Amino acid sequence: MSDRSAIEWTEATWNPTTGCDRVSPGCDNCYALTLAKRLKAMGAAKYQNDGDPRTSGPGFGVTLHPEALDVPYGWKSPRTVFVNSMSDLFHARVPLDYVRRVFGVVADTPQHTYQVLTKRARRLRQLAPKLDWPDNLWMGVSVESEKELARVDDLRDVPAAVRFLSCEPLLGPLPGLSLDGIQWVIAGGESGPGHRRLDEAWVTQIRDTCQGAGVAFFFKQWGGRTPKAGGRLLQGRTWDQMPLPVAA
């Protein structure tokens, strides 16, 4: 966990779990998997559990960290917190009881705003009725290409105060994207040595869909060899819109 974050759309990260497995093409160049391997080599205690080499890697086995549940209570000033930047809270190996404990911490610290992002949209929809949803928890799903649009339908059934999409890394256009019940969309390109191309038309299509639906739009980056290589300007301006919570 970190008291500060370089991610443009949040302020801090909190990892009550670590580790994950690849589930779709958006995972191919996973930054967290690469970082976990480096942290394991450095001896970081949270990253000594290896994952399946076919879908994960060194230091990236799914691991619960109950000791980390107390961290948000120690933050004195309110902040926006990205939950599990190094994992997926709705991974099949994270028990429902533990998800409830994480949600309990969120509810206990209403001064903070928590952002949870998953690629396991089906499990999210299945567990949603079994969870108490705090007003300060925003729930999102990753949508990298048209093949993942079904995740948006799953998200619509979740009673979160804010429902959002992370279209990053955006790997293709999203024709037919419906934003009914969605309050925020993040879009961005991939970074790193093997980064894949981001087409401006894919981004402007999403932006225009957001504008037509009255949905907040955030353009994170063009990507490139480094995250900041391509900058953040889209047609001459930055897009840093943030959502307003609505009744679930």
Question: Which residues, other chains included, contact 185 with Cβ-Cβ below 8 Å and sequence gap of 6+?
Answer: 164, 165, 167, 179, 206, 210, 215, 216, 217, 218
190: pLDDT strictly greater than 90: yes
In a domain, 185, yes or no: yes
Domain hosting residue 189, numbered range: 69-219
Q: Domain of 214: which CATH number? A: 3.80.30.30
Question: Which residues, other chains included, contact 233 with Cβ-Cβ below 8 Å and sequence gap of 6+?
Answer: none
Q: How far apart are CA 155 and CA 103, in angstroms?
A: 17
DSSP H helices in the chain: 31-41, 96-108, 121-127, 150-156, 200-213
In a domain, 61, yes or no: no
Q: How far apart are CA 143 and CA 172, in angstroms?
A: 10
In a domain, 235, yes or no: no
Per-residue pLDDT tens digits for 137-167? 999 999 999 999 999 999 999 999 999 999 9
- Count how many domains the chain has: 1
In a domain, 160, yes or no: yes
For position 244, what pLDDT does the model report? Answer: 81
73: pLDDT strictly greater than 70: yes
Of 139, 151, 216, 157, nearest in space to 177 by CA: 151
For position 1, what pLDDT does the model report? Answer: 46
In a domain, 172, yes or no: yes
In a domain, 177, yes or no: yes
In a domain, 1, yes or no: no
Q: What is the mean pLDDT of residues 187-214?
A: 96
248: pLDDT strictly greater than 60: no
Per-residue pLDDT tens digits for 38-70? 999 999 999 999 999 999 999 999 999 999 999
For the chain, the average pLDDT equals: 95
